[in-house]
Structure 1
């Protein structure tokens, strides 16, 4: 798989020309988000996960399956979901970028759901 650092400017421009919504992921990367692609057995990206952490154990997350299938959420330090939305990649990235920092008095604080707990057997 080609890493971001090995992409030429021409490849970058060609990818954005073919998939303009990729710019939204670049916006998140430039804002400090970390990305974790999910690959199938052949090495093709089938899903992209991204996360940004905040002080105090808060985290924002993004899951993208396609430009029309994305989900964003924010969790508190206990794994409680305080904000969640489904939509297009562009809609969800716009919402995540404008979501107030967890310390802001206008940020969502009320837990609306619990994230599933990971079990290690």
Structure 2
């Protein structure tokens, strides 16, 4: 039982590490598109599309290394994640006037949901 707890803590630590890298990459990509003059919702979809490939690599190679990844389930989970993020961005953009802060709030709001989707639906453990 202790070993299982330790493994879960290590996985959560790695998820946090990958999450920080992925969030920074996504936020910088989003910010770049906003800086270039894109509408915040256009910037978000473009950053999400680019970020999906980047995130798949970090999660599959760093966090869930011993799991069997499912690319289709990953894409589906990110479609759901995008819908949640879009709703969070819409709400945040009404509460704060900075598109950058609204984008950051949307990223943070979806991180916990994303962990559970990836852990339980995408990167499943092989059956022994």
TM-score, normalised on structure 1? 0.28
The structure where helix makes up a greater share of residues is: 2
Q: Which has the higher strand share?
A: 1
Task: Give the TM-score taking structure 2 as reference length.
Answer: 0.27
Determine which structure has greater relative contact order: mean sequence separation of CA pairs < 8 Å that are 6+ residues apart, divided by chain length: 2
